Amino acid sequence: MLKTHNCGELRVEHAGQQVTLAGWVNRQRDQGGVVFIDLRDRWGITQVVVDEATSPQAHPIARDARSEYVLQVQGVVRVRPAGTANPELETGEIEVVAQNITLLNASRTPPFYINKEERIEEVRRMQYRYLDLRRPSMQYNIVLRHRIIKFLRDYLDARGFVEIETPILFKTTPEGARDFLVPYRLQPGKFYALPQSPQQLKQLLMVAGYERYFQIARCFRDEDLRGERQPEFTQLDMEMSFIEREDIMQLVEGMMIALVEGVGTNKQLLWKPFPRLTYTEAMEKYGSDKPDLRYGMAAVDVSDIAGKSGFGVFQTNVAEGRPVKAMRVPGAGAVSGTQLRKDTAELEDLARSAGAKGLAWMALPTDENDEVKGPIGKFFTVEQKLELFERLEARPGDLLLFLSDRCEVVYNAVDILRRTLADKLNLLDPNQFAFIWVIDFPLFLWDEENKRWDPSQHMFTAPMPEDLPLLDTDPGKARGSQYDLVCNGYEVAGGSIRIHDRAMQEKIFPLIGQTMEHAREQFGHMLEAFEYGTPPHGGIAAGIDRLAMLFAGAPNIREVIAFPKTQTGSDIMAHAPSPAEPGQLEELGIAVVIEEDKEDA
C-alpha cells in the first residue's frame, strides 16, 4: 500500500504516529518558508505542513505542487498549535508534518474546480466525467448509491432471496417500449433484443422453483430521455412464489422503511405505514397516478354545488356530465389585487397548456367581512359559497381554483397546477419522503390510435380475481393486481401478481390485439412453461436510479449514475454512439441506409 491511513481518519489520538498518506492536492497554500497542502482522498482532507527548515527534501516539491497533483506524503501526525485548529475539517485538530513527499503524478490544470462546489455546465462535466466524479459531492452520491444497493442486497439475502443474473442478450420483452437490437455475427440478419426488464426470466425462475429471486438488473428501453429516464437504468428486480399482493407490499414497505432509517441520510419518512390510494382516487384527487403527497391541494368534486350556481359554463358542463373540481391553495389569495390578477392569469395559462379551456377562481379575503374576490363569485349565492368553503375547508386568504372539463383534461390540469404551485409556494422539502402505494390500476388502457386495449403494466399482470368476469363483458373496468410505490411524485417501484395459468394468459392476448400466432412466436416458451407446474407468483421492480436520486436530494438521475447519457443519448466523453466500421457491418450483413434530409437536400 502506498498509504497507511486515509485522509479522513487521523485524529488527536494519532499524534506522534508515523504515517503515510496519498491523495490529491485539494489546495496548496505557499507561505514562503512553510507550505500547507490540503491532501484529499475519498475519505476526507488532511492538512500537510511542509517546513523549509525541517523538511528540505519535501519543501520544493510542496512549493511546486498544484491542484490535483497526486502526492504521497510521509510524516508525523501532530496536534496543531493552539489557535490553528480548523473546526471545518474533521481532521482539523491535527496536521501531518511532512518529512518526505513523492510526486506520484502531476496534473494539468483541471477544466473546472474539483475543490469547489460550483454549478458547471453539464456538457463540460460529461466531457470530463472522471473529474466530475472526483468532486466530493459526486463521490457522496455514488457511494450513497452503493450503500443503498448493499443495504437492499443484505436485506433480501437475510430473507431467503437468491440473486440470480439473467442475460443481457435476450429477446424482446413485453414492457411496451421500443427495444434496443443487437445484431449477431454468427446469424446474420438476426437480432438479440436487450431486456427492457428481466420480466419473463424472473417468472421462469419462479417456474424453476427458486421462490425468492432478486437482481440488481440493468434494463434497456429505447425511448426519449428525461431527467428521471435514461436508456439504460437499474432496477432492483424481485419475484416471489406462493405469495399474494399483500405479502409483497408488506415486504417492500418494510424494506423501504428500513432503508430510509438505516442507510444513513437525513431523510425523514412523513408517515408509516404507507397510505394506499386506488388508481381512481389518485386520479380524482391529484390528477396523477404518482402524486406527490408532501403537499395537499387535492382536487375536490364540487359539481353538485357549481351546477346549481349561476355560472353558465359550470351549469352546462355538469348537465352534460363533465365534473367541476376545485383546489384550495392555502394563503395564495392574500396578496394585492394586481398580484392576484397576475398570479391567476399565469395559472390559467398553465391550465390551458394542459388542455383546459379556462380556470375560474375565488380569493377569500383575509378579513372575513370583505367580499370574495374573483370573476365567478357573483354567480354563487352566499349559501353556495359557504357550502363550497366548508367542503374545501377554506380559510381566509386562500385561493380557490375551479376546473371543469372532460375528466382527463381536469386530471391533467390538476396535476400540473399542483406541481407548479407546490414549487412556487416552496412546499417541496427534499428531506421529507412521502411514500404511498397506488393500487387497483385498470388492467387495460384504451389505445385510441390502434383501437385496442393495452396492458397498463404488461401482459403478464393478473386481473384481480373478482374482476375476472369483466374480461368478457367490460375489459376496461377490470382491475389488475398491480401495485406501484410512489415517493414524492416519482414512481419508485411497480409490480403485480402474475398470470401463472396458460388459459388465462391466452385469454389476454386477443384483448390486447396480439394474434395467437404472434403471441406463440414471441412468448411460446412462457405459455409452455405455464404448463409445467407454475406456482402462483408475483413481484416488483424498484428504480434504483430514482431511489438514489431521492436519497441524494439530486435534481435528476444523472447525478447518481457514474456515466450517464445526455438527453440525445450521447456519451460526450467517449463519443458514443458512433458509426460502425464497414467491416463490422459487412460481417453482420447490415447496410446502413440513412434517409437524406427529406425536402431541403
Least separation in angstroms between residue 560's CB and RNA is 13
Q: How far is CA 263 from the centre of its chain?
A: 17
- Per the CB < 8 A criterion, the answer to whether 149 and 166 are in contact is no
Least separation in angstroms between residue 247's CB and RNA is 20
Name residues whose C-beta falls within 8 Å of residue 389's C-beta, 6 or more positions apart in sequence: 364
User: Please, which residue, 461 or 534, has the CB nearer to RNA?
Assistant: 461
Name residues whose C-beta falls within 8 Å of residue 24's C-beta, 6 or more positions apart in sequence: 39, 40, 41, 68, 69, 70, 71, 107, 114, 134
Which residues are 181's β-sheet partners? 193
Using alpha carbons, list the distances in angstroms from residue 530 to 524, 527, 534: 10, 5, 5
User: Please, which residue, 110 or 396, has the CB nearer to RNA?
Assistant: 110
For residue 416 the three cell numbers come to: 400540473
- Per the CB < 8 A criterion, the answer to whether 194 and 179 are in contact is yes
Least separation in angstroms between residue 149's CB and RNA is 18
- Per the CB < 8 A criterion, the answer to whether 68 and 52 are in contact is no
User: Please, which residue, 577 or 589, has the CB nearer to RNA?
Assistant: 577
Name residues whose C-beta falls within 8 Å of residue 568's C-beta, 6 or more positions apart in sequence: 225
Question: Which among 195, 193, 111 is positioned nearest to 572, based on CA atoms?
Answer: 111
Q: What is d(CA 413, CA 48) in angstroms, rounded to the nearest whole number?
A: 59
Least separation in angstroms between residue 357's CB and RNA is 17
Placement of cell 390486447 in the chain: 512
- Per the CB < 8 A criterion, the answer to whether 208 and 184 are in contact is no
Angle made by CA atoms 491, 492, 498, in degrees to the nearest 5: 90
What are the residues binding RNA (CB under 7 A)? 27, 29-34, 36, 38, 47, 49, 51-53, 66-67, 80-81, 84-86, 88-89, 92, 95, 109, 111-113, 116, 118-124, 126, 175-178, 196, 221, 223-229, 289, 441, 445, 456-457, 482, 484, 491, 494, 543, 556, 558, 566-568, 570, 572
Least separation in angstroms between residue 428's CB and RNA is 13
Least separation in angstroms between residue 187's CB and RNA is 27
Least separation in angstroms between residue 183's CB and RNA is 23
User: Please, which residue, 220 or 314, has the CB nearer to RNA?
Assistant: 220
User: Please, which residue, 85 or 263, has the CB nearer to RNA?
Assistant: 85
User: Please, which residue, 80 or 308, has the CB nearer to RNA?
Assistant: 80
User: Please, which residue, 195 or 333, has the CB nearer to RNA?
Assistant: 195
Name residues whose C-beta falls within 8 Å of residue 599's C-beta, 6 or more positions apart in sequence: none
Half-sphere exposure of 534 (CA within 13 A, CB side): 23
Least separation in angstroms between residue 369's CB and RNA is 42
User: Please, which residue, 116 or 342, has the CB nearer to RNA?
Assistant: 116
